[in-house]
Amino acid sequence: MKKFVVLFTLLSCVAQAQLSRVYFTDKGANAEMLSNPYLFLSPKAIDNKEKRNVAVDIRDIPVSKSHLQSLHDAELEVKMTSRWFNYALVDGEDVFQKVKDLPFVKRVETPNRYKVSFAEMPEASQATNLTYGIADNQIEMVEGEYLHDLNYRGAGMTIAVIDGGFQGTNTLTGLDSLRQQNRILGTYNFVHNDTDIYKDGSHGTSVLSILAGYIDSAYAGSAIDANYWLLKSENESDENISEMDNWLAAAEFADSVGVDIITSSLGYNNFVGGVGDFAYNDMDGNTALVTKAADMAAAKGILVVVSAGNEGNSGWQYITAPADGDSVMAVGGVDASGAYVSFSSTGPTADGRVKPDVVAVAGGTAFISPAGPTYGNGTSFSCPIISGMAACFWQQNPSLSNMELYEAIIASCSQPFTPDNAIGFGIPNFRIASWEVGVEELEIATHINVFPNPIGDEFEVESEDFVIQKNIEISILDINGKPVYEHEVEGGNSKLKIQTSLPEGMYLLNIQYGGKSHLRKIIK
């Protein structure tokens, strides 16, 4: 008899059928499908991978139907399958005994039941209207209006919202334009294996309103022109073993239909009854199934944005999975003034990486309820602010890969050089991100050295070119292209000293001589 691993965990003293993951050794005859990816991926998914240089591989191929039939013949009900990790989630008794002699079975896992963390949901209350309605502050804090004013509002981008229920999405007034313009591309309920997402909870609807909500003169979301797939992976009324598997299934589905971004305001850190809780050491980016699923989605070219968690005031305190993923953008929370809110989960990861990655408004975030625009709390609500603005930024810069997009957002943050465990790299600035990517496309003068950089009130610029120049014009431009410093000096020396008092920020140093401009980015 061949050897394979069996991992069992006690769920209850009561005898009952349990959900188990049956992992396979191969994809069977399906492996031959690799030569024709159109058999298992949508044209948009294939186009996305080609644009972002992501190869189609064996992990993209569906699980073998013959393997699944064998499980069915063994009187096991298949609840879902994972092509990325090559397993089937099955329901039934004596799973090990029923599959142990099947030659294509690699191992069996019987995991615990997971408990999910949602945002706090307040009672609805009416609020004063501003330019964005009451969403004005949360958009302006990340300089989102800069992209919106340039008409980058997510058009042509596709976002998968993996969440709990979407009750009210089909009737909410603030989502009228989304429905009327047919920008809900599809739905799927991975809890009940059907397309009905409009029942059993409204958490997903609140999240969606922060992204796509629009009420004239009363509210505007972060990506009001984007397309959406609404995928329910969470049962808000019950914590079930299959919820992390459901999240994985939703992510694989999202990849197959060619989404650009996954946004998910769900987090996992403990289990029902306290049996098998995650330890902090498990937040290492490689342990939780949902984390591995999120990282795999990123490896497939998708930008994955998730909430950091609301455990800051609890005994747990730290981020929840999948926020610990190394390729996942975890979003923590600040209040309306930009100060850390104490319920936002903190970092670092167990292996010492910075988390959360970024923050946005989570204390008093504006969303749309059935009664109209109102406020709520939680990193569930800061997450869609960032994912929506990321869609607008990607619309502006379609040549970027998902991780280049990720890095550009991090580089734009309020504390890119001094991250901490509360707010990570800080609050993103999409005006700076947009400007910085634009500067990257210019011919940067690498032969000119600036030190120190970040600069102080006094810094030096050095180049051997300066020695043979008669006149050198120096200017510093802010992120709007406005000159904030101009000076003309004589050449003859390889070093130039510049003294100026500038506020903190990112600038473009423009040194002109010999009829050409020589550019360097500087930060203060």
Catalytic residues: 163, 203, 380
Q: Note whether 486 and 475 are within 8 A (CB).
A: yes
Q: What's the one-letter identity of residue 368? A: I
Distance CA 211, CA 177 (A): 13
Q: Single out the residue of 272, 256, 286 nearest to residue 111, CA to CA.
A: 272
Both structure tokens of 315:
């005994």
Both structure tokens of 273:
């009854």
Q: Note whether 66 and 28 are within 8 A (CB).
A: yes
Number of other CB atoms surrounding residue 325 within 10 Å:
28
Cα distance from N-terminal residue to C-terminal residue, the chain: 66
Q: Note whether 359 and 441 are within 8 A (CB).
A: no
Both structure tokens of 6:
């069996």
Distance CA 293, CA 248 (A): 5
Tell me the torsion sign for CA atoms 131, 133, 137, 140. Answer: negative
CA atoms within 13 A on the CB side of 499: 0
Peptide bond just before 356 cis, omega within 30 deg: yes
Radius of gyration of the chain (CA): 25
DSSP-based three-state secondary structure for 28:
helix
